[in-house]
Amino acid sequence: MTDFGYREVEPEEKTRLVGQVFSSVADSYDIMNDLMSVGIHRLWKRHFVSGCGMRPGQRVLDLAGGTGDIADLARKRVAPSGEVLVADINRQMLEAGRRRMDDRGQVDAFEWLQVNGEALPFADRQFDHLTIAFGLRNITDKAKALSEMHRVLKPGGRVHILEFSHVSPKPLAQAYDVWSFKVLPRLGQAVASDRDSYQYLAESIRRFPDQETLAGMLREAGFERVTFENLSAGIAAIHRGART
């Protein structure tokens, strides 16, 4: 069994249910991210990519790439000769990303792939960097996905994970709980006509491993030089690791 929010379900059932969530919220995903984080997620993402150490000519896989925020930031750093692949298990999210980049005249700047993070369809040692932002907690078998990330990175390649995490100051954690479980589902209903999906997203954050646990999982997957950095008192955190 595995978790789907606060429910325990079969692994195959979680994959199906998560797919339903993101199919439902794909068209309103960017608006809801702004509302959920009061726009701060944009600052987090820029800081996240600026610390990746990407250089022109490198090859980047943006896993759970959603609507292309991270891929677009990465492209600017590896251009003109680098390559960015946007991969997501959910077709509706990829389509939303393609429409967004098409509006900017950049859809052809990326390769768009529908893939499962637990079974990446790439040969070993293909990428200089692998990014995943706000996607790891939705993967059913996280240990398997981390192992796959390690496999497809080149020696010296780096993984970069941006994810909601665990808030440490207790008063802030209590306020964050009120926001997550009282306000967020209501915003989901008002903006996306979908309270249940945003209830799940709030619950999935609470079920996600804390900062130290995720760092340990990265080491178990074979990564070295593992670090993490809290953002906004741990509301989100950046984890990084290297394949040697």
39 pLDDT band, cuts 50/70/90, is confident
Residue 213: count of CB within 10 angstroms of its CB: 11
169 pLDDT band, cuts 50/70/90, is confident
Beta carbons of 166 and 234 less than 8 angstroms apart: yes
pLDDT at residue 36 tops 80: no
Q: Residue 35: what pLDDT?
A: 73
Task: Tell me how far apart the alpha carbons of residues 77 and 68 are, in angstroms, rounded to a whole number.
Answer: 15
34 pLDDT band, cuts 50/70/90, is confident
Query: Among residues of the chain, what percentage have pLDDT more than 70?
Result: 100
Which has more pLDDT, 32 or 50? 50
Q: Residue 106: what pLDDT?
A: 92
Pairing of strands 236-242, 153-164: antiparallel
Q: Residue 170: what pLDDT?
A: 87
pTM given for the model: 0.94
Task: Tell me how far apart the alpha carbons of residues 190 and 172 are, in angstroms, rounded to a whole number.
Answer: 25
Q: Residue 66: what pLDDT?
A: 83
pLDDT digits (tens, 9 = 90+) for 103-159: 999 989 999 999 999 999 999 999 999 999 999 999 999 999 999 999 999 999 999
pLDDT at residue 37 tops 90: no
Q: What is the mean pLDDT of residues 196-212?
A: 93
Question: How far is residue 233 from each of residues 15, 197, 230, measured CA to CA in Å?
Answer: 30, 25, 6
What CATH superfamily classification does 2-242 receive?
A: Vaccinia Virus protein VP39 (3.40.50.150)
pLDDT at residue 31 tops 90: no
Parse the chain into domains and list their residue ranges. Answer: 2-242
Question: How far is residue 56 from each of residues 59, 76, 79, 83, 205, measured CA to CA in Å?
Answer: 9, 9, 5, 9, 34
